[in-house]
A = this chain, B = another copy of it.
Amino acid sequence: MGSNVPSENNAPKALSMENLNPCVKEMEYAVRGPIVARANAIAEELKQGVKKPFNKVVKANLGDCHATGQKPITFIRQVLALVTYPEVLMKSPNFPDDAKQRAKRILDACRGYSVGSYSESPGLLAIRQDIAKYIQARDGHPSDPSHIVMSTGASDGIKSVLTLLLTGKGGTERAGFMIPVPQYPLYSAATTVYNAYPIPYYLNEDNNWSLEISELERALEEAKPNCIPRAIVIINPGNPTGQVLTRENIENVIKFALKHNLFILADEVYQHNVYAKGSEFFSFKKVMMEMGAPYNMMELASFMSASKGFMGECGYRAGFAEVINLDADVRAMFNKSISAKLCPPVSGQAVMDVIVNPPVEGEPSYQQFIKEKETVLAQLNEKAKLVTSLFNSIEGIQCNEVQGAMYAFPRILLPPKVVEAAKADGKTPDAFYCFALLEETGICTVPGSGFGEKPGTYHFRITILPQVEELKEVLGHFKDFHLNFLAKYK
């Protein structure tokens, strides 16, 4: 450091690549990485009239429902408009009574009857009560509103829980977090920024991305000399992998966590997104509760979001965590740490309230709500099947069934010449492939390397969100591209 001599040609910098936080330097977040920057640049070029072999960029990189044409659920937006501008809209005949009732319930919980006031730090109590009822109905086991912490999207809640588990120490005394590979890169990014130690465990692609206990044991054993293992992250339904865990698989993970005294973080944001026949969503909490003691006393944080499911309200950044079985003193510390965040956006809390407390039979909005919800889910179901079967019809691509969530994560079998060409280009082979796909078709996907994959295997993640007709068109372009690409590098 030291002082700078002021002079006109000397731009003094307190922050340089040499003294920037090394954890920030190291951190990666593929979902919005360089390929997305290139996609944005191409979209801009198209706008300016540059000729391309396609006329629009299809952003299949992000689980962003409304961006790809899904319409908001009317009832959610009605309640939201009402809480925003109640003075006038509460008297409007354009809004049904059940929407007005829900809006009033939310406003009554807000200080000063305004969503512009801060809520309690973990979210408005009335909404946490509704969330507890939702969880209870889902699982058949009680839920306590004081165990629920709302957050700015699920990500924010995940980071709050991970923060509790850090050791405050470096080197081999760092906290170790078991993270699936492939994984949603929030987990690796947060682990890196927090200077914690990632313990990757591989999902078994050959068994539809199952989670095998022998692999968990291997991963943990290998990591033990390097860190203090503290927690295991499970994403179910899987992102980017789309599998839905069986109840038995969940039981085995819980036993493993108990054996090794690990805190369980269950990312269950896709709990509404299950498509495959025979697949069913089981929450970790439900399974733990039904396994009885001592499993039903284990610590668990389960995360949910307003951004996925049938609602897809990403922009409101709403989420919650149910955190159970904390030691009482630890709970107090957790609450204190949450209080320093003031509160998550109240508009997002209101969105979540409608999701957990939707219109019921007999209410004026019920029919329309159910119709809109089921339409979205039926379309996602159709698209999941479409994507799986199309990818598997292409030579050199293998795709596990998209049982749930919003993505396919097909494996691409790339010949050695591609690997060489990628190396020469300074890219991973799958990034090389995805960039070529983008340049030639306008389809923006995310290379599998951004999520992690077994060495020597190559994948990409593509959302199943585009509208059916568009998706069919996209997949058609895809097939042509793939065959040309393989021919080129034969």
Contacts and interface: CB of A to CB of B under 8 A. Distances in A.
Given A228-B1, A339-B32, A348-B345, A169 B166 contact: no
B32 A66 contact: no
Contact of A168 (B152, B153, B195, B330): B195
A64 B316 CA distance: 21
Contacts of A8: 293-294
A344 to B, nearest CB: 7
B314 A21 contact: no
A110 interface: yes
Nearest to A111: B67
Contacts of A15: 164-165, 230, 263, 299, 326-327, 330
A388 B35 CA distance: 57
Interface stretch (A75-83, A243-251, A373-381, A417-425): A75-83
B4 A116 contact: no
A416 B22 CA distance: 50
B333 A110 contact: no
B313 A116 contact: yes
Contacts of A94: 88, 92
- The prevalent SS among residues of A at the interface is loop
Given A14-B263, A20-B330, A29 B336 contact: yes
A190 B341 CA distance: 10
Contacts of A165: 15, 21
Nearest to A339: B32
Interface string A68-90: 11101010011011001101110
Given A168-B21, A345-B345, A62 B32 contact: no
Contacts of A390: none
Contact of A118 (B62, B186, B231): B62
Interface residues of A, number: 119
Nearest to A17: B329
Given A1-B228, A21-B167, A21-B168, A12 B66 contact: no
A259 interface: yes
A214 interface: no
Interface string A139-155: 00000000000001101
Nearest to A16: B327
A343 interface: yes
Contacts of A19: 167, 230
B317 A344 contact: yes
A347 B261 contact: no
Contact of A11 (B88, B121, B167, B325): B325
A426 interface: no
A427 interface: no
Contacts of A342: 32, 153, 155, 314, 317
A66 B21 contact: no
A258 to B, nearest CB: 6
Contact of A315 (B21, B28, B258, B345): B345
A85 B92 contact: no
A2 interface: yes
A20 to B, nearest CB: 6
A261 B112 contact: no
A185 B190 CA distance: 24
Contacts of A276: none
A116 B312 contact: yes
Contacts of A167: 19, 21-22
14 contacts: A7-B294, A15-B230, A17-B327, A17-B330, A17-B333, A32-B340, A33-B339, A67-B118, A78-B85, A81-B84, A163-B193, A168-B195, A317-B343, A317-B344
